[in-house]
Amino acid sequence: MRKGNGKTNVNKLDLEHELPPAEAGDNLTPTPEQAAAGQAGAVSEVEKLKAERDALLDRLARLQAEFDNARKRAAREQQEFREFAAADVLRNILPILDSFERALKAVGGESGEFRSGVELIYRQFQDALQKMGVQPIPAAGQLFDPRVHEAIEMVDTTEVKDHHVLDELQRGYKYKDRLLRPAMVRVARNSG
């Protein structure tokens, strides 16, 4: 077999990619004015491409920031939903805690295994709620705060300062700085 020098294949490819022949009136060497105009056109083309690149990079940065914000907002909303769902469950548990408190008051000063058993259950229940983030709202002796206290009655008295909580009828609770239930209180009205 005879090996070719490869010129036939190269010539065939060159012919396919070859430019058409110049016409008689075509001037192949540009004049200095044409060269300057070509360079100015190339420079303006480069500037145009740089401006387009900068605009696309700016757009990309904005889209990335929007995506990050959307991701953070979705995570925050999901966390708030979880806390809202937990708050609803905790609101249903609070009446049980109220019943424990009433049972302890009803038993009074009696000593015995029943009282100590109820006290133990009550403390365990309070500890479990505290671990979940439930905190009681301080009320007795505090200045009345309509954000966390619900006034059931105004009582004329000189024993407690004006607009201070006289006593607590039902304890209020917060869950992670969110009000679960306001404290039901009697408020002192001291005209003196």
pLDDT tens across 117-144, in order? Answer: 788 888 888 888 888 888 888 888 888 8
Quote the tokens at residue 5. 């020098």
The predicted-structure confidence for 81-128, as pLDDT tens digits, reads as follows 877 777 777 777 888 888 778 777 776 655 677 777 788 888 888 888
Quote the tokens at residue 38. 């070509």
**H-helix or E-strand spanning residue 83:** helix 32-107
pTM: predicted TM-score of the whole model, two decimal places: 0.49
Q: How high is the pLDDT of residue 14? A: 56
135-192: CATH homologous superfamily?
Head domain of nucleotide exchange factor GrpE (2.30.22.10)
- DSSP letters of 91-112? HHHHHHHHHHHHHHHHHTT--S
Confidence of residue 67 (pLDDT cuts 50, 70, 90): very high
Give the C-alpha separation, 91 to 85, whole Å. Answer: 10
The predicted-structure confidence for 130-189, as pLDDT tens digits, reads as follows 888 888 888 888 888 888 898 888 888 888 788 888 888 888 999 888 888 898 988 888
